[in-house]
Amino acid sequence: MRESTTEAKARPTRGYFAIGVERISKQMNLGNLVRSAHGFGASFVFTIGAQYRALEAKSDTAKSVSHLPLYHWREVDDICLPVGCRLVGIELLDNAIDLPSFRHPLQAAYVLGPEKGSLSDSLHARCDHVIKIPTSFCINVATAGAIVMYDRVRSMGRFADRPVGEGGPDRSFGLSRASPVEDSKRGV
């Protein structure tokens, strides 16, 4: 049975997070990132040194900027994060922490590099942590942001533990649902 939207919203995550990108140049990427941030429950979104044409964010069909703040900072020195908020860079570097092994800060602002480049040295130096998605090569900036937000929500949200077997938790018994083969053996 599919979980209702009301049930999904009843499981709040702890803390807060934001996501942003440095020197973004494509409208579609910013729009997708903002829309995903809205969907995953980000507290705000930001850009640093974005190219003017990217700020139109045309693919944000949910009009997410009506529902969460979007900050535009010209340069790294302009960034103003809340007290206690940790800046987490997302970059495919050998010495970065693999995302599946990373414990997300309670208060975090994640920042991605531009479509064709890396985080600037000044932004990299300002990051409290740098994480990487364990891929063979760089992936689309909006996709990378969605993966990090999903990982945060999954690891910090209040979700049932994953069952040992395939499938999801059986809500009526609190156990994992058996496979169709096991069901047929039990006469279900």
Render the chain in DSSP notation, one character per residue. -PPPHHHHHTSPPSSEEEEEEES---HHHHHHHHHHHHHHT-SEEEEES--GGGGG-TT-TT-GGGTS-EEEESSGGG--PPTTPEEEEE---TTSEEGGGPPPPSEEEEEE--TTS---HHHHHH-SEEEE---SS---HHHHHHHHHHHHHHHHS--PPPPSSSS-EETTTTEEPPPHHHHHHHT-
Please give the model's pTM, rounded to 2 decimal places.
Answer: 0.79
- Mean pLDDT (whole number) for 35-53: 87
Domain coordinates in residue numbering, the chain: 15-156, 163-188
Render pLDDT for 13-26 as a digit per residue (tens, 0 to 9).
678 999 999 998 87
Render pLDDT for 56-68 as a digit per residue (tens, 0 to 9).
555 555 566 667 8
CATH of domain 15-156: 3.40.1280.10
